[in-house]
Amino acid sequence: MCNRMLDLTKKRIVVTGGAGFLGSFVVDHLRAKGCENVFVPRSSQYDLTQAGGVNAMFDAFRPDVIFHLAAVVGGIGANRENPGSFFYKNAIMGLHLIEAARVRGVEKTVVAGSICSYPKFTPVPFREDDLWNGYPEETNAPYGIAKKSLLVMCQSYRQQYGMNAVFLMPVNLYGPRDNFDLQSSHVIPALVRKALEARNSGAKELVCWGDGSPTREFLYVEDAARGFIAGAESYDGADPVNLGSGFEISIKDLVELVVELCGYEGTIRWDVTQPNGQPRRMLETSRAEKLFGFKAGTALREGLAKTIAWYEGQPRGAASGL
């Protein structure tokens, strides 16, 4: 495989999900690099679950490069309540978009995968070669399998049509601009909001799901944005690539760190009637460093402090779904 450096500053670039969490930082970093033709399709104008919406988007923006970051996502509760819609919407958006990119001869397509695609009992750290060695953890399997199907599509289109589509799998992301709605958010924004609300209300206890034993790896969102751009510029391979921080922490230790940084001094109570999710998650990240020089640069404590400061600086309800 011979990678070539792609000069993104000279390309017309579409970022699906570019108004969302990860996508907004990818857009910011692209523009900071000097990319002048970066387009963000909005769901109110272009329904990417419909072929007509995808084709209208291509007609409007005529992209040379696509970052497909749009997704329907959520934490354990949201995945458990919406398995069918999470599977369908994530799969159908990718199917329509990758096919349209092939038909229209898009130069480079970068597709965001998910570590939810890994088997439930994958050896830790997760290596890309273990992706097909079992069924995903049940609470997020529909989402994970939908994403994994897009990897197969990218690889088969490369094989049959010579399409340059790459598949990057970020670990759990966190940071400013995240979704802090308690009904649909992931673990860090949910913990931050609950800890701050408990602190501000003087609550005596903070209730957390599970028993605190699972471990997770987290990647600061701006590091992830850099990783996606580096992959677009310098990686042209068929193999999926992990994007992570290489740091694993138990949910118990994470809760204690968030509580400390938020200044909450009450008791933490674990609700063991609620699910833990996958037992462990940590990625093997050497492939990204070897193939396109990506290595995360933000320590968890630093990233959490930035996330908390951002959330506290938002008008009430603006970042929380209220």
Give the active site residues. Answer: 143
Separation CA 163–CA 113 (nearest Å): 17
Nearest Cα neighbor of 68 from 18, 118, 7, 12 is 18
In this structure, what token pair is assigned to residue 248? 């694993």
Separation CA 153–CA 159 (nearest Å): 10
Residue 273: Cβ within 10 Å count: 7
Residues 6 or more apart in contact with residue 262 via CB below 8 angstroms: 192, 195, 196, 199, 308
Alpha-carbon torsion 12, 13, 14, 18, what sign? negative
Cα-Cα-Cα-Cα torsion 304, 305, 307, 312, nearest 10 degrees, comes to 140
Region for residue 181 given its phi and psi (left: phi exceeds 0; alpha: psi -120 to 50; beta: otherwise): beta
CB 195 within 8 A of CB 259: yes
Separation CA 311–CA 25 (nearest Å): 16
